[in-house]
A and B are shown apart, each in its own frame.
Chain A
Amino acid sequence: MTAALFLEQLLNGLQLGMTLFLMSAGLTLVFGVMGLINLAHGSLYMIGAFCCATITTMTGSFLLGLLAGFVGAAIAGLIIEVVVIRKLYDRDHLDQVLATFALILIISEGTSWIFGSSPLYLSIPSWLSGSIPLSFEEDSNSSYPIYRLVIIAIGLIIAYSLYLLITKTRLGMRIRAGESDREMIAALGVNIRVIYSLIFALGAALAGLAGSLVSTLYSVEVGMGEPVLILALVVIVIGGIGSVKGALVASILVGLVDTLGRVFLPNILALFIDNSQVATLSASLASVLVYILMAVILAIRPQGLFPANA
């Protein structure tokens, strides 16, 4: 195990964390402000990836593809909000879970109807496909792809912009007001429904951006959103539902624990147990590590790390 390998995995973990943050930021805002649990957020991620793949293939420009993923998911989010989600704000969590579960079924099957069941593949555009060395030693050939660094950078930029949006702008002030007292801000003459739609579309756009960004790393296919959605749910539970800051911290935590766990857990376990089963055991353990992390954190702090409405 070299320092370069460790650094490489650290960056991989950070990249996963940033993808998760883009997903969970919208999820946590929607819950914090509207009190809605949206399982169909993973479908918006998928819609973003499909838009990006289609437009990139058509125009040859990945930047246009990214834009299409962002805008496409935002439009899809807006439609979903107006047609379905709006009716769910006053319902209990069971109805919200079921209605958004129904949306997953509809969107997934609809997508596979249109695009077929074979996955789409995108390659990283040439101007982003290089890599930079991670080690200064002469004989070392370890390097890190620039593209993943770009994802990390975009994630950080979005996090900072969200921070500015929420703390420094009028819209952000209204979002925060909506978080603490919905009726009051409506009584003060703010059109709360428009704000709800905006927040939902913003969350959808960020999910779409996340889907577009990873569309060159993984295959674009129906069902790609759900594993990410579940990790994002873990993230917002750990971070404290409704808190964007919590989502950022928890995203990075979950990204690092998941990535580093998968790589280094076998080595660590091998120190203690000398057994042929260790590979199996560590693979199983590594895949559930984030859930164990969540269970432990919740056992200590049932409201998550940064409870929003404390």
Chain B
Amino acid sequence: MLNSTHQKGFKEKALNLIILGLIFVTALVTYWLDQGYYVNLVSRVVIFAIAGVGLNLALGYGGMVSLGHAAFFGIGGYIAGISAMHFSENTSFIAGLDSTNQMLTIWLFVIIICALLALFIGLISLRTSGVYFIMITLSFAQMVYYFAISWPDYGGEDGLLISSRNQFLGNDTDNELVFFLICFTVLLLTVFLSSRIIRSRFGTALQVARMNDVRLATVGIRPYPIKLTAFVISAVITGIAGALFADLNRFVSPDMLSWQMSGEIIIFILLGGVGRLSGPILGATLFVLLETFIGGYTEHWKLFLGLVLLIVVLYANGGLMKMVVGEKQHD
């Protein structure tokens, strides 16, 4: 029994490395073959995976089913877009701040703003649980969505074009491979960060909070601050993914804030496997594959996405990770 659990853990670790390696190699090969379009597709997978890894921390490990993570994804995107706009127009932010096109500075903004917003949303939403939590996170995201739509300065319903990508120190971010490497590094960092988090005392407490609030409280740890912290970290990671997504497409629109986006981030996790480290990476890969290849045949590809999703939920609970590795070690 112990031996087999150990083997499964090993198998999952090996799989995590193989998946990351495959993504890296695919980007290199397609770049070498001069297929810039496919390099960008791999970057798209990586960015979705980052968003999924972020949400997985709250949803998979913390049991907080947030249907509002598009708010953070979109706000990350808008911060990148608005910075780029002000930089190209040589104007300053509302508060008289100098505009910048340096990704690192922009990410710092994303982290601060997403953390504050998530703190506010979490403070209210985490007072509730279950269905109420789902709906409140959804409603907060809708607030941000409608705000973005009715605010004409930054494109309103039409969205905001980014005339040139934000810069990463001195590198040429317009080069597909350079941009991919930036995204991939962020993905590695977030995967590393979340693997550290879930193995820490904090992470253990978080997972117990998912299984049984009362048990956690009995040993003297209040679940509320633990969950709130995880929610904030999760939001920040998703926000960074959003900033990268805006730069990848050179475009931000309210679509990034829509509730369908929130649903899609959950889909990345579910297709891959809830509460598994590389679940979102596998899921995002499958999603983009469906989108690209079935989307190439018919514009109604989401019909097939829906069918796949329905089958996974009803009959293959646990997603791709479970098919490959088997049951999780414990739950």
Binding site for B on A (CB under 8 A): 31, 37, 84, 87, 93-95, 97-99, 101-106, 108-110, 112-113, 226, 230, 233-234, 237, 241, 280, 283-284, 287-288, 291-292, 294-295, 298-299, 302-303
Question: A99 near B132 (CB under 8 angstroms)?
Answer: no
Question: B124 near A299 (CB under 8 angstroms)?
Answer: yes
Question: B313 near A234 (CB under 8 angstroms)?
Answer: no
Question: B309 near A105 (CB under 8 angstroms)?
Answer: yes
Q: B294-331, CB under 8 A of A: which get 1 and which 0?
A: 00000011110111011001100100000000000000
Question: B136 near A298 (CB under 8 angstroms)?
Answer: yes
- Roughly how many angstroms separate A233 CA and B134 CA in the complex, as a whole number? 10
B21 at the interface (CB under 8 A from A): no
Question: A295 near B124 (CB under 8 angstroms)?
Answer: yes
- Roughly how many angstroms separate A241 CA and B129 CA in the complex, as a whole number? 13
Question: B306 near A97 (CB under 8 angstroms)?
Answer: no
A64: shortest Cβ distance to chain B, in Å? Answer: 30
- Roughly how many angstroms separate A106 CA and B149 CA in the complex, as a whole number? 27
Contacts of B37-87 to chain A: CB distance below 8 A: 59, 65, 67
Residue in A closest to B131 when the chains form the complex, CB atoms: A37
A108 / chain B contacts, CB cutoff of 8 Å: 302
Known contacts A288-B143, A288-B146; is-contact A31 B135 (Cβ 8 Å): no
Question: A241 near B131 (CB under 8 angstroms)?
Answer: yes
B163 at the interface (CB under 8 A from A): no
Interface centre among A84, A104, A291 (most CB of B within 10 A): A291
A30: shortest Cβ distance to chain B, in Å? Answer: 11
- Roughly how many angstroms separate A104 CA and B307 CA in the complex, as a whole number? 10
Q: B134-169, CB under 8 A of A: which get 1 and which 0?
A: 111011101100110111110000000000000000
Other-chain contact of B274, A94, A104, A226, A280 (Cβ < 8 Å) = A94
- Roughly how many angstroms separate A282 CA and B15 CA in the complex, as a whole number? 52
Q: How many of chain B's residues have a CB under 8 angstroms from any CB in A?
A: 42
Contacts of B265-306 to chain A: CB distance below 8 A: 266-267, 270, 274, 300-303, 305-306
Interface SS, A side = helix
Other-chain contact of B134, A97, A105, A283 (Cβ < 8 Å) = A97
B39: shortest Cβ distance to chain A, in Å? Answer: 28
Known contacts A93-B65, A284-B151, A302-B127; is-contact A99 B143 (Cβ 8 Å): no
- Roughly how many angstroms separate A171 CA and B279 CA in the complex, as a whole number? 45
B223 at the interface (CB under 8 A from A): no
Question: B136 near A97 (CB under 8 angstroms)?
Answer: no
Question: B150 near A112 (CB under 8 angstroms)?
Answer: no
B245 at the interface (CB under 8 A from A): no
- Roughly how many angstroms separate A99 CA and B316 CA in the complex, as a whole number? 12
- Roughly how many angstroms separate A97 CA and B302 CA in the complex, as a whole number? 17
A-B complex: 4 closest residue pairs judged by Cβ atoms:
A105-B306, A109-B303, A106-B306, A102-B309
A-B contact pairs, 13 of them (CB 8 A): A93-B131, A95-B317, A98-B313, A102-B313, A105-B302, A105-B309, A110-B303, A233-B135, A234-B139, A291-B142, A294-B139, A295-B136, A302-B128
Question: A295 near B139 (CB under 8 angstroms)?
Answer: yes
B36 at the interface (CB under 8 A from A): no
- Roughly how many angstroms separate A234 CA and B67 CA in the complex, as a whole number? 13
